[in-house]
Amino acid sequence: MATMTYLQAISDGMREEMRRDERVFVMGEDIGAFGGAFKVTDGFLDEFGADRVMDTPLAESAIIGTACGAAYVGLRPICEMQFADFISCGFDQLVNVAGKMHYRQGLPTNITVRLPSGGGFSGGPFHSSNPEAWFMHAPGLKVVAPSTAEDAKGLLIAAVRDPNPVVFMEHKHLYRRVKGEVPAGTYETPLTARIAREGSDLTVIAYGAMVHTALEATADLDGASVEVLDLRSLVPLDEEAILASVRRTSKVLIVDEANQMCAAGAQVAAVIAEHAFEHLDGPVRRVATPDVPIAFSPPLEQALLPGVDRIKEAARELLDY
């Protein structure tokens, strides 16, 4: 298998689907001649042409609305929002049209919306958000958040083939920092959780970039055996895997880069409290981002985002409980 970065794996997944299925096309701001803000679609215009690699105006609502219309005539568009934060400008089309059309009229909305998300690069308040909880609350949308290169490709392919609209949360901090072996050709990663590391004393639940932070923080934690569960999919949420892990270890720490209020981790905590309360040997702990905009200043940004030290402190408190 070839070794790829997280970014290359996403690019490879799109290429594979565009080569396999002529109904698949990509659209977004500067994705054609420029190759995308992060170069994910670099070279696509030369290979697939302007009819399937469409540069759009700075109009997120128009991008998603056009994608919905294309889906209703049988195409399979992939939309890139240059930064996840900008999805707010296309919120109505995604939540009220794409998410509800199957329920209202029986029409599948086969669109994939790529959202480069997350902080860690001093992007400031308009380029660093993790808005996945917005879409977890919106009926009809699936939400995925890969942490590895292999899953990034497999989940992207699964999203493109899914008849439902899928919000694909790709963490910018992972683009060139994470590498791994990626199978050639096409394959689909299931929308289920995976065990990133087995353990017996404590479960840490995370997704996206926080999986790697959690693995680093608990790699050598006073000899404790720490299990790390990578959710991969937020909608649907793999409740069975979550509960099975909690029942194995009896203690759980949830790490979520998104703002703490009503984040994905809050739903995970609610599931555990309702269905595995009698298996817990301590309170459900959470490490998340405070409910404030992300700062430009690197030291301030690092103070806000969940980091290794904060995770270690919370994990040790739970282990000693």
Which active-site residues does the annotation give? 127
Task: Map residue 297 onto helix, strand or coil.
Answer: coil
Residue count of the chain, please give it: 321
State how far the alpha carbon of 124 is from the alpha carbons of 83, 121, 296, 302, in Å.
12, 8, 4, 12
CA distance 316 to 177: 28
**Bridge partners, residue 202, by sequence:** 226
Q: Which residues are CB-neighbours of 239 under 8 A, at least 6 positions away?
A: 271, 275
Return the structure tokens found at 111: 């669109």
Is the torsion defined by CA of 151, 40, 47, 32 positive or negative?
positive
Maximum separation of any 2 CA atoms in the chain, in Å: 60
